[in-house]
Amino acid sequence: MNTFFCADHSQQLAEDIIGSGTNYQVYVLVECRQPWLSNAMDSKYIPDNLRSLVDEVKHRKLPVRFLLIANNKTLKADQTKVLIYSHNGEARLKGYSKLEFDVTNLGEVAGIVRQFLAGETPKCVTQDSDTRDILVCTHGSHDVCCARYGNPFYCKALATVNELSLTNVRLWKASHFGGHRFAPTAIDFPDGRYYGVLDQDSFKSILIRSGDLECFNRVYRGWGILPTKIQVLERELILRYGWNWFKYKVGGSIIKEDANQDSIQAEISFEKPNGLIYHCRAELIKDESKTLQLKGSCGAQKESVFVKYTIKNLCLYSELLEILPVYQPQMAS
């Protein structure tokens, strides 16, 4: 009997989970009954036309992620929800824009998504709802840790949302979106930020955007709109600016990196609600003390190297060319 659990092993090694929020410009979330197979799109309720579209998107290497979602509140015999979260690639963003549809069966989904990807307005009725959709991976057939830790967390999270009377928050069970070893793991839309190793205290802080931000050192995987390698820099800025950070429009890029990726020059820019724009530049150096070699999933046959970065020479300035005090993040002892 296999007793290796990737999430337990990652926590035993005290892995820093930042830099694991994967990048996609479009998320297509399709409500679908469970159970789901290991490859979610091979599940019995998925029609051939949708499966073919997913294969086509992968072949064309489009920045689109298809996920199956489910909950007990919205599922109806004659109605299926489809959510499309996307961003337009602007220099600075607060998150993703949402389109929401109700279709009578899954056979209609592929046509709607094809219209959207072609830049057309889908020919169906959209639902105008100002909701926050939080996806929790519970996809145990893909990785056992997602069921072992994702399912209990999901049940407790439902109770937390109810206790806080957050009527605009919808919780969904979701198929695999990466980061098994960080279970329980979640994506928070419309932001598109990834979290892992969650408990109810940290989840409550994320929900109400209040409380001790130090939990971000433990539970923040990164923002899927930013390149993974510079997500560590955004975390430092979150710790500096606090919960106000989530009111800002943010963008970022890699300016330069050496051939072996041991050193990266990165920039994050952000716009405050008052319209002032700031830029943060820093050097990201491979942190040998945090870089780990381990199995990335319960079923992995061999170990992989997961490179971690630390921040050096951080400089913050406004577009008015005002040089702000240099912020030096606290180094782990």
Amino acid identity of residue 32, one-letter, is: C
Q: In 3-state terms, what secondary structure has residue 238?
A: helix
Quick one: DSSP state of residue 93?
B
Estimate to the nearest angstrom the gap between the alpha carbon of 326 and the chain centroid: 29
HSE (side-chain half, CA atoms, 13 Å) at 13: 19
Least confident window among 19-33, 122-136, 306-320: 122-136
pTM for the whole structure: 0.93
Model pLDDT, residue 313:
96
Q: Tell whether the model's pLDDT for residue 333 goes beyond 50.
A: no
What pLDDT digit, counting tens, does each position of 103-161 carry? 999 999 999 999 999 998 887 766 667 899 999 999 999 989 999 999 999 999 999 99
Q: Mention every residue, 6+ apart, whose C-beta is less than 8 A from residue 220.
A: 17, 18, 193, 194, 195, 235, 238
In angstroms and rounded to an integer, the radius of gyration of the C-alpha atoms of the chain is: 20
Look-up: residue for tokens 């937390």? 160
Superfamily of domain 6-214: Glutaredoxin (3.40.30.10)
Angstrom distance (rounded) from CA 175 to CA 41: 10
Model pLDDT, residue 325:
54
Residue pair 184/149 in contact (Cβ under 8 Å)? The answer is yes
Alpha helices (H) along the chain: 6-12, 48-59, 109-117, 144-148, 150-163, 200-208, 216-219, 231-241
Residue pair 268/238 in contact (Cβ under 8 Å)? The answer is no
Residue pair 283/264 in contact (Cβ under 8 Å)? The answer is yes
Strand partners, 278: 270, 318
Cα dihedral 233, 239, 242, 246 in deg (nearest 10): 30
Angstrom distance (rounded) from CA 100 to CA 41: 20
